[in-house]
Amino acid sequence: MKIKKAEKSPYLKTSFAKDMVIEAFDTPFRKKCAVLGFFVLVGFPFVASGYFVHIANLIAISCIGALALNLLCGNAGLLSLGHAGFMASGAFTTAIMTLHFKMPIWIVLPVSGVVGAMLGFIAGLPSLRLKGIYLGLSTLAMHHLIHYGCSEYQFHGGFGFGIRIEDPRIGPLILADDRVWYFVLWVLVGLTALYIKNLLRSRPGRAWIAIHNRDIAAEIIGINIGYYKVLAFIVSSMITAMAGSLYSYYTNVASIDEYSFMLTIYYLAMIIVGGMGSILGSLMGAFLITILPFTFLYIFDFFEVSGVMKNFFFAVRSGIFGVVIILFLLIEPLGLAEIWRRVRTFFQLWPFRFKPLQVTKR
């Protein structure tokens, strides 16, 4: 009797090249999910109304910011409370460049990134000496310095409610319509995710994870801690500043009131709810935290809630964020990404609860 050679499981990795395949395209199921997700993303603006496309655009910008913050906090393990400051730096670079120099977007966006990277370099310098709380405080101080600089510019320039930014144009194309923005932003989200994924599976990413786990051990195996810590700050704040630039282009205004410490909390909420150190987690967290206030607005309208709760909706919103953060921290510190992993494992192993021990097939 001829023994049929068992087909190789797609989950079994036999070479280093297979191990390095991006997780989203790893297994047949994930490939199907990725293709389906791609078509849903492309088809969405043709089906949905303008309001939902607008929300999707906000989600896209949050995704970029959350990816950058997750790189710094989740992967490199450096606490940053200056996220809003870096976004503000990007937005105000955009405002100054478009207002005074009339630069097109394809120059402004990289320049914002460079400004963010320089500020990130300065913010990263204390990380050579500091850890934990102390580093968080120094980034908080950095946030206040950037905030002060931007508000001085805004009020001395006489822009009471913010600086108006014209719709950007690339050649003949004017980025004004939400649906055009949708494709631009989501392509950028894809590029950012790919960039960060590539960073994480190459030398810098491994170095960051090593530093996160135990910095002394990382130094012993020959990682230049100072270099990689500052590099994490530079990369993260570069992407963050570009997200801020995109946000100011998208909303046509750069106003310092938008970039308060509260914004940092929203982004921290995204990466905590999503899952620290996970790319999928950043995306899920950005999605959930961005739609949460819109959902509650809808619920309030549906039940015709009025009075205090409606008039002070901004307070209700931040209170909900607080509750969500605390619940996740207390109940599921690893975030949505961990819940997703558990659900997936449950269905993969079903009807068993655990992976059977080394069953050999004959």
Partner 1 sequence: MQFLTSVIVLSCVYAILASGFVVIYRSSRILNFSYADVVMLIGYFSVTMLELIGGPPVISLAIVLIVSFLFGLVIYALLIRPMAGQPIFSTIILTVALGIILQAFTILVWRGELESISLGWRQYYSLFEGIRLASTEIVIIITTILFFIALSGFYRFSRIGHQMRATAENTLLAAQRGINIYFVTALAWAIGIFATGIASILLGSNYAVSLYMGHVAIKAFSVALVGGLDSIKGIIPAAFIVALTELAASNYINPRLADTMPFIIMLTVLLIRPWGLWGTEEEIERV
Contacting residues toward partner 1, per CB under 8 A: 73, 77, 79, 125-134, 136-138, 140-142, 144-145, 147-148, 151-152, 155, 215, 225-226, 262, 265, 268-269, 272, 308-309, 312, 315-319, 321-323, 325-326, 329-330, 333
Asked if residue 50 lies in contact with residue 221, where contact means CB atoms within 8 angstroms, the answer is no
Q: Which is nearer to partner 1, 211 or 279 (CB)?
A: 211
Residue whose pair of structure tokens reads 């490939």 in the numeric block: 31
Joined together, the tokens standing for residue 255 give 């106003």
- For partner 1, give the closer residue by CB, 52 or 294: 294
CA distances from 242 to 24, 108, 110 (A): 25, 9, 7
Give residue 150's region: left, alpha or beta (phi > 0; psi -120 to 50).
alpha
Report whether 81 contacts 284 (CB < 8 A): no
Q: Which is nearer to partner 1, 147 or 188 (CB)?
A: 147
**In one letter, which amino acid is 315?**
A
Q: Which is nearer to partner 1, 21 or 128 (CB)?
A: 128
Closer residue to partner 1 in complex, CB, 188/234: 234
Cβ contact 335:278 at 8 Å: yes
Residue among 286 and 325 whose Cβ is closer to partner 1: 325
Whether residue 244 contacts residue 112, with contact meaning beta carbons closer than 8 Å, is answered with yes
Residues 6+ apart with CB under 8 A from 335: 271, 272, 273, 274, 275, 276, 278, 281, 285, 328
Q: Return d(Cα 168, Cα 278) in angstroms, integer.
A: 32
Reference 139, options 226, 72, 222, 223; nearest CA is: 72
CA distances from 121 to 32, 138, 194, 202, 207 (A): 41, 13, 23, 21, 18
Sequence-ordered list of residues with C-beta below 8 angstroms from that of 215, at least 6 positions apart, any chain: 131, 225
Compute the distance between CA of residue 77 and CA of residue 129 in angstroms, rounded to an integer. Answer: 15
Shortest Cβ 58–partner 1 spacing (Å): 20
Judged by CB, which is closer to partner 1: 26, or 219?
Answer: 219
- According to DSSP, residue 10 is labeled T
Spatial distance between the Cα atoms of 112 and 92, rounded to a whole number of angstroms: 9
Nearer to partner 1, 28 or 157 (CB): 157
Of 168 and 335, the one with the shorter C-beta distance to partner 1 is: 335
Q: Nearest approach, Cβ of 311 to partner 1 (angstroms)?
A: 9
Q: Which residue, 174 or 326, is less far from partner 1 as judged by CB?
A: 326
Q: Locate the DSSP E strands across the chain.
A: 163-164, 169-170, 173-174, 253-254
